[in-house]
Chains A and B, each alone.
Chain A
Amino acid sequence: ILNVEQSPQSLHVQEGDSTNFTCSFPSSNFYALHWYRWETAKSPEALFVMTLNGDEKKKGRISATLNTKEGYSYLYIKGSQPEDSATYLCATIGGGSNYKLTFGKGTLLTVNP
């Protein structure tokens, strides 16, 4: 069983604050990690796909890092805006499967204006 844990479960920040949250996963048999942003009443949107230890990816004010040896990924948001309010989901592929995404429960981010 591949357990993906995300923390914190929820987070409230003020507009302009920078924030980060964590995705932890078993480091053995790791294949890839995905980050998604899911705004209320919309489709989950892919942010990053990361495969290599030490990977760093950036999309605007959002960036992510990956440590496959210790089994974690960080997602950073610089200068949070109200439109960043969403649930951020991470999911990994591993354990011998080449197709199955195993999701965490997500981190619900609320950015107050």
Chain B
Amino acid sequence: DAMVIQNPRYQVTQFGKPVTLSCSQTLNHNVMYWYQQKSSQAPKLLFHYYDKDFNNEADTPDNFQSRRPNTSFCFLDIRSPGLGDAAMYLCATSAGAMPDTQYFGPGTRLTVL
């Protein structure tokens, strides 16, 4: 039973063409996270929502935005993808603040042509 679902699993976009990745959860968790993992690198936190409160990491580029219209869904918008944005994007949830376990989706692999 999937608990954190990400769509699509693979996304191809063109340089500069906006793209949206989606994440949904059936856990009713308060916190949702977006991570970026580039090839051979560690997953890196982009931002997270605690309920409706948005928390951006200081080094997350302005090109990346997020929306959380309700508890279950969270979106990652990349306004003008560059070649350097090609990566695996992971969504995760947790019930509350740390050290709660995070539950991950399978990720969306983004290719930028």
Binding site for B on A (CB under 8 A): 4, 31-32, 34, 36, 41-46, 49, 51, 89, 91, 93, 98-106
Contacts and interface: CB of A to CB of B under 8 A. Distances in A.
Determine which residue in B45, B48, B103 has the highest number of CB atoms from chain A within 10 A of its CB, and name it: B45
| Chain B binding surface SS class | loop
Nearest to B57: A100
B99 A32 contact: yes
Interface residues of B, number: 25
B103 A98 contact: no
Nearest to A90: B42
Interface string B24-43: 00000001000100001111
A64 B48 CA distance: 28
Question: Which 7 pairs between the two chains have the least Cβ-Cβ distance?
Answer: A32-B99, A103-B42, A44-B104, A46-B101, A43-B104, A103-B43, A43-B106
Contacts of A42: 106
27 contacts: A31-B98, A31-B99, A36-B104, A43-B4, A43-B103, A43-B107, A44-B90, A44-B104, A46-B102, A49-B99, A49-B101, A51-B99, A89-B42, A89-B43, A93-B99, A98-B97, A98-B98, A99-B31, A99-B50, A99-B55, A99-B97, A101-B102, A103-B42, A103-B43, A104-B42, A105-B40, A105-B41
A99 B42 contact: no
A105 B104 contact: no
Contacts of A44: 90, 104
A6 to B, nearest CB: 9
Nearest to B99: A32
Given A46-B101, A49-B101, A100-B98, 14 more contacts: A4-B42, A31-B98, A32-B98, A34-B99, A34-B102, A41-B106, A43-B4, A43-B104, A49-B99, A89-B42, A98-B97, A99-B55, A100-B57, A105-B40
